[in-house]
Structure 1
Amino acid sequence: MTAGAFLVAEMRRARARRGWSQEELAKAVNYSASMVSAVELGHQPPTAKYVELVDQALDTGGLFGRMLTELVSLDRAQPWLRGRGEIVAQSRVLRWYEPLYVPGLLQTEAYARAVFEARGLLEPDDVERRLTERMEGQRILYDERPPRLWVVLDEAALRRQVGTRKTMCDQAVHLARIATEHPRVQLHVVPRSAQEYPGLGGPFLLATLREGTELAFLATQVGGQELDQPTDLSRLQRVWEAILGDGLPPQESIEFVREVAESWI
Structure 2
Amino acid sequence: MGIKSLIAATATVAVLALGGTQPAGAAGEAVALPKQDWSFNGIFGTIDRAAAQRGLQVYREVCATCHSLDYIAFRNLTDLGYSEDEVKAIAAEYEVQDGPDDEGEMFFRPGTPADRFPAPFANEKAARASNGGAYPPDLSLIVDARAGFEDYIYGVLTGYEEAPADVTLMAGMSYNKYFPGHQIAMAQPLYEDGVTYADGTKASVEQMAKDVTTFLAWAAEPNMEARKQTGIAVILFLIVLSGLFYASKRKIWANVH
TM-score normalized by the length of structure 2: 0.25
Could you say which structure has the larger radius of gyration? 2
Which is bigger in relative contact order (C-alpha 8 A, separation at least 6)?
A: 2
Tell me which protein shows more helix as a share of its residues. 1
TM-score normalized by the length of structure 1: 0.25
